[in-house]
A and B are shown apart, each in its own frame.
Chain A
Amino acid sequence: MTGISYLLPYDFSPLTLLSFILVLVFYGVGLQNMPKETRPGSGRIITFMIGLMLCYGVMQTRFDYYSQYMFFIHRGQHLILHHLGPFLIALSNPLPVIRYWHSQTGEKTRLLFTPVGWLYHTLQQPAIASFLFVGLIYFWLWPVVHFDAMLSRDLYWVMNWSMLLDGLLFWWLIFDSRPPAITKSLSYRWRMFLLAVVAVPQMVLGASIVFSRGMIYDFYEVCGRAWPFPPEMDQLLGGLITWIPPAMMSALGILIILRRTMHEDGKFTTPLPATGGASL
Chain B
Amino acid sequence: MTPAHCTQTRLWLSNIVLSVLVLLLTGCAQSQEHWNGKNISGLMPDLEFSLTDETGNTVTEADSAGQVRLLFFGFTSCPDVCPTTLSNLSKAVRQMPEELQKDVTTFFVSVDPERDTPERLRNYVSFFGERVAGVTGDEPALRKLAKRYRTTFGYEEPDAFGNYEVSHSAAVYVFDGAGNVRLLFRSDLTAEMISKDLTALVREQKS
Known: A122-B13, A218-B186, A221-B170. A228 touches B40 (CB 8 A): no
Binds B, one of A39-47, A96-104, A149-157, A236-244: A149-157
Number of A-B contacts (CB under 8 A): 66
Taking a contact as CB atoms closer than 8 A, the residue among B9, B152, B155 that contacts A223 in the complex is: B152
Taking a contact as CB atoms closer than 8 A, the residue among B12, B146, B186 that contacts A222 in the complex is: B186
> How many Å from the CB of B75 to the closest CB on chain A?
12
B186 near A223: Cβ-Cβ < 8 Å: no
Per-residue 0/1 for A40-77: is the Cβ within 8 Å of any B Cβ (1 yes, 0 no)?
A: 00000000000000000000000001001100000000
> How many Å from the CB of B85 to the closest CB on chain A?
12
Give the residue among B147, B152, B171, B187 with the most A Cβ atoms within 10 A. B152
A113 contacts the other chain (CB 8 A): no
Looking across the interface, which residue of chain A has its beta carbon closest to that of B171? A222
A69 near B152: Cβ-Cβ < 8 Å: yes
B69 contacts the other chain (CB 8 A): no
B125 contacts the other chain (CB 8 A): no
B44: chain A residues at CB < 8 Å are 151-153
Give the residue among A11, A118, A229 with the most B Cβ atoms within 10 A. A118
In this complex, how many residues of chain A approach chain B with their Cβ under 8 Å: the count is 25
Instruction: Tell me what chain A mostly uses at the interface: helix, strand, loop, or mixed.
Output: helix
> How many Å from the CB of B51 to the closest CB on chain A?
18
A115: chain B residues at CB < 8 Å are 12
Looking across the interface, which residue of chain A has its beta carbon closest to that of B9? A118
A225 contacts the other chain (CB 8 A): yes
What CA separation (Å) do A221 and B184 show in the bound complex?
13
Binds A, one of B96-104, B130-138, B161-169: B161-169
A225: chain B residues at CB < 8 Å are 152, 154, 167
B147: chain A residues at CB < 8 Å are 10-11
A180 contacts the other chain (CB 8 A): no
What CA separation (Å) do A34 and B105 show in the bound complex?
66
B184 near A224: Cβ-Cβ < 8 Å: no
What CA separation (Å) do A151 and B183 show in the bound complex?
12
Closest 8 CB pairs of A and B: A227-B154, A152-B43, A224-B169, A223-B151, A222-B171, A228-B167, A69-B152, A225-B167
Known: A11-B147, A152-B44. 9 other contacts (CB 8 A): A68-B150, A122-B13, A147-B38, A222-B186, A223-B171, A224-B146, A224-B151, A228-B154, A229-B167
